[in-house]
Structure 1
């Protein structure tokens, strides 16, 4: 069902639309019917659910989607992985280079992490310099592999600005959803615990909850 912009000829402004095309056999040949629907309100709603700095889902939208995925995972006895990422020494970046540089670090971090994820994975900024990834159909082995891949991708990232180029690292904590009555909130807390243990052990590393 393709969508795009259409120009209203009377005043020249563009609006987003969704176009549906169907066909059916009719006397003398095939009849094609198209329906054009204004989706301006839908696009406004989607924009409100995303944070302006990184373009990622805000906390409310992320929690709603996490609850939906958790319900499906538990109902069908599948796997769901949770990762929490936190930028190491981010306050030092802001204090040394200013908040504009800190903002650019977060933007590039969001793009770098997004580039390593599958279409089915979900990335959100929880607040400050903390991000969360939800991975459907991902057990503990897959969770750790992805976490280490993200760790390496961020290590290789160089934030280049007119007056400075800098590199950052992240600490990552992970956990898997357990059998009922486990909840997303509990899995997130376990991932958070693993994250802060990773930070306490020196930062720039991955720790999955339950590992020695």
Structure 2
């Protein structure tokens, strides 16, 4: 339960700058992409290891953008070996983790078929910040030759090149719709216009119901076919002025300028029925698709882009919670939007402190407002209702109460 207050041996200011660099790439919690999957495959094949990982590291976890040989998608900071590599400028090579005092007591080492060989190379931005790692892992001790080490360095450079290309891209490679970054940039322009002219604007977020079950039953290739078919079905329904983007794995967003809540709900229903009509000949059993929709309208006196999308997300969550395959309008569920305060999107290292400071949990602060915050963490299940949120880099501290609890995030109300 207790986490070290300085998980990385970095000055607080340097860690804050590093997290700013992570945020710049806007890649956390995005779906798999072939370029990074291929690099993970190359690591495994070139070095003959069992497991390969391409990861980013925020304030509380190592998150896997691509991996082979492991079912995990992320690991808490306190459990990852890569925290020791992050302050470095070159690869960290561990020939036998069972003989290394840093790792020998780790459950990942002590487990049957546990970790022995571990190689980790920081992913370094052009301005010198380590935002993640590329890893090669095996259950047998081994060494890296000089040649292998140089190949490892080059693969890390290729990862960073791909991240730079991705940062500049505006079109999602699989579906052909806007990327999350491009969607946000275009949507913020519409939001600014709606605020200036006090005009109507609405947002829709939706995702495919039980998409994991589709991947598990029919395979990931079939999941890709579904996503592409969904995009093709949606685009003809939208106007040329509307914005359509992929926000996550199976989650999408739509911005509807000059549309009030009633008009947006009508669009959401058209989209929902269009997806129900999709057919995939040859699938056994027959593959049918539905989606859940959240709809929210812009309040020019209170909303920004983030709060508008948050409202739509809360409505989407309600649609999922109440049965799926539904369109639900926002009804004032979140602390930030209910109180109509301006959310400031951030990416900062935080600590949740409780039990008279006997327990400290690393978290990533994703948004702040006057009387609250949104934080991400590996699991919210063990966090009590009353905590103290600390942001060490700014020497900030707030007593808070959990207002909304999700599996991997919390909304906190200060005071």
- When normalised by structure 1's length, the TM-score is 0.75
1:20-72 deviation per Cα after TM superposition (whole angstroms, max 9, x unaligned): xxxxxxxxxxxxxxxxxxxxxxxx99x93101100111111111101111001
Q: Is the 1:108–1:159 contact (alpha carbons within 8 Å) kept by the matching residues of 2?
A: no
User: Unaligned stretches of 5+ in structure 2?
Assistant: 1-164, 333-415
1:65-106 deviation per Cα after TM superposition (whole angstroms, max 9, x unaligned): 011110011111111110001100000000011000000000
Give the secondary-structure state (helix, strand or coil) at the position aligned to 1:180: coil
Q: Is the 1:113–1:153 contact (alpha carbons within 8 Å) kept by the matching residues of 2?
A: yes
Mapped partners of 2:314, 2:203: distance in 1: 12
Give the secondary-structure state (helix, strand or coil) at the position aligned to 1:53: coil
- Aligned with 1:114 (options 231, 235, 253): 235
Mapped partners of 1:182, 1:162: distance in 2: 44
Residues 148, 192 of structure 1: alpha-carbon distance in 2 compared, 3 angstrom cutoff: same
Q: Is the 1:81–1:138 contact (alpha carbons within 8 Å) kept by the matching residues of 2?
A: yes
Q: Is the 2:194–2:300 contact (alpha carbons within 8 Å) kept by the matching residues of 1?
A: no
Correspondences of 1:119-138 after superposition (within 5 Å): 119-138=240-259
1:165 Cα offset (Å):
4.5
Correspondences of 1:1-212 after superposition (within 5 Å): 48-161=169-282, 165-210=286-331
1:105-157 deviation per Cα after TM superposition (whole angstroms, max 9, x unaligned): 00000110111111111100001000000000000110111111111111111
Aligned length: 168
Mapped partners of 1:162, 1:191: distance in 2: 33
1:164 Cα offset (Å):
6.5
Q: Is the 1:84–1:191 contact (alpha carbons within 8 Å) kept by the matching residues of 2?
A: yes
Give the secondary-structure state (helix, strand or coil) at the position aligned to 2:246: strand
Q: Is the 1:121–1:136 contact (alpha carbons within 8 Å) kept by the matching residues of 2?
A: yes
User: Unaligned stretches of 5+ in structure 1?
Assistant: 1-43
Residues 161, 61 of structure 1: alpha-carbon distance in 2 compared, 3 angstrom cutoff: farther
Give the secondary-structure state (helix, strand or coil) at the position aligned to 2:174: coil
Which of 1 and 2 has higher RCO (CA within 8 Å, sep 6+)?
A: 1
Q: Is the 2:201–2:260 contact (alpha carbons within 8 Å) kept by the matching residues of 1?
A: yes
1:162 Cα offset (Å):
6.8
Residues 53, 164 of structure 1: alpha-carbon distance in 2 compared, 3 angstrom cutoff: farther
Give the secondary-structure state (helix, strand or coil) at the position aligned to 2:247: strand
Residues 68, 163 of structure 1: alpha-carbon distance in 2 compared, 3 angstrom cutoff: same
